Amino acid sequence: MPDQTSTIISKVWGMCNPLRDNGVSYGDYLEQLTYLIFLKMSDEYSKPPYRQETGIPAGYTWADMSALKGAELEDQYKATLEELGKQSCILGKIFKGAVNKISSAAILYRIVQMIDQERWVSMSSDVKGEIYEGLLQKNAEDVKSGAGQYFTPRPLIRAMVRCVRPEPMKTIADPCCGSGGFFLAAQEYIADEARYTLDREKKAFLKKQTFYGNELVPSTFKLCLMNLYLHNIGDIYGNVPVTLGDALLTDPGYRVDYVLTNPPFGKKSSITFTNEEGAQEEEDLVYNRTDFWTTSSNKQLNFVQHINTL
């Protein structure tokens, strides 16, 4: 393992124990890393040789925050999260409802400094991916977090991808994509030089046109977006390859060559509502779509029908 990889990974993991002692879960740590790394990458993209317009308002950039300490840092970070959550495009999607869950100003400062010391844009996607995927897996293994239901074991995903054998210039969908594991495994499979030779056109297609995803849970959706960008899938300020919402509600309109997915288990989809007496009740959700061969509240059957459509 290259020194760069082992050094940054050990730094990121080194923060886990102090954070957990302070009541911060793996999931919360991962979420805060998502916000902070995104801000740092945006700062790097705004400078030479990229000089990209990042859309981050003046006064709320990484540079406005990274040199601060203590209460000043906490206040600036809070204000930044609130302001970016109001923005359009991907900024608003990633920062919507974002709050600072790191209650220790000293630990927040250490994390900011750790991130500030690295060049994230030029760092290989393998390094960034190993950091992020490792924390995603750790979060999934934490029984209390309940995140295991959104995280399909990576060996299982890789086995399924090898069975399907996706090819370059073909499209792939995952209608319940979680943190993006199937996309990453498919990207790795297609980009393997021992398997395929990718010219510039094929590489561009793999990055920007191959993947279509959907995720129901807002916090998982944010993690997926960041995971994809750290693995060089999609354009950090262009089209978002993953949408947020209930995939079963409507036919999304697109058609793909492959569907790689691990649909949710459980027979029922339901919505919670408040009745006239003010009590909360649940009602089975029935999807009535013309492209489905039968109308049902059976979630597993509906996903099979949705996959058939795609």
User: H helices of 96-124, where?
Assistant: 105-116
- With bands split at pLDDT 50, 70 and 90, how would you rate the model's confidence at 237? low
Residue 29: name the closest of 41, 42, 17, 38 by CA: 17
Write down the mean pLDDT value for the chain: 84
Largest distance between two CA atoms of the chain = 65
- Distance CA(65)–CA(111), nearest Å, equals 12
Section 75-89 average pLDDT? 90
In the DSSP assignment, the letter for residue 201 is H
Distances (CA, A) of 248 to 21, 30, 177, 300: 40, 28, 13, 11
Whether residue 176 contacts residue 247, with contact meaning beta carbons closer than 8 Å, is answered with yes
What whole-number percentage of the chain has pLDDT above 70?
Answer: 84
Q: What is the pLDDT of residue 273?
A: 46
Model confidence over 146-187: pLDDT tens digits?
Answer: 444 556 788 899 999 999 999 999 999 999 998 888 999 999
CB atoms within 10 A of CB 139: 23
Whether residue 82 contacts residue 96, with contact meaning beta carbons closer than 8 Å, is answered with no
Q: What is the pLDDT of residue 169?
A: 98
What whole-number percentage of the chain has pLDDT above 90?
Answer: 41
For the chain, give every domain's residue range. Answer: 1-143, 152-310
Q: What is the pLDDT of residue 270?
A: 52
164-168, 172-176, 210-214, 236-240: lowest mean pLDDT where?
236-240
How many degrees, rounded to 5, is the angle at CA 152 between CA 221 and CA 269? 65
Domain 1-143 CATH class label: mainly alpha
Section 96-104 average pLDDT? 90
* Alpha-carbon 264 to chain mean position: 18
Question: Between β-strands 258-259 and 172-174, what pairing exists: parallel, antiparallel or unpaired?
Answer: parallel
In the DSSP assignment, the letter for residue 185 is H
Q: What is the pLDDT of residue 30?
A: 79
- Distance CA(218)–CA(224), nearest Å, equals 10
**CB under 8 A, 24+ apart: contacts of 185-189:** 185/154, 185/157, 185/158, 185/160, 185/161, 185/260, 186/161, 186/210, 186/211, 186/258, 186/260, 187/211, 187/231, 187/233, 189/158, 189/161, 189/162, 189/165
Give the fold, CATH level 3, of 152-310.
Rossmann fold (3.40.50)
- Is the pLDDT at 275 greater than 60? The verdict is no
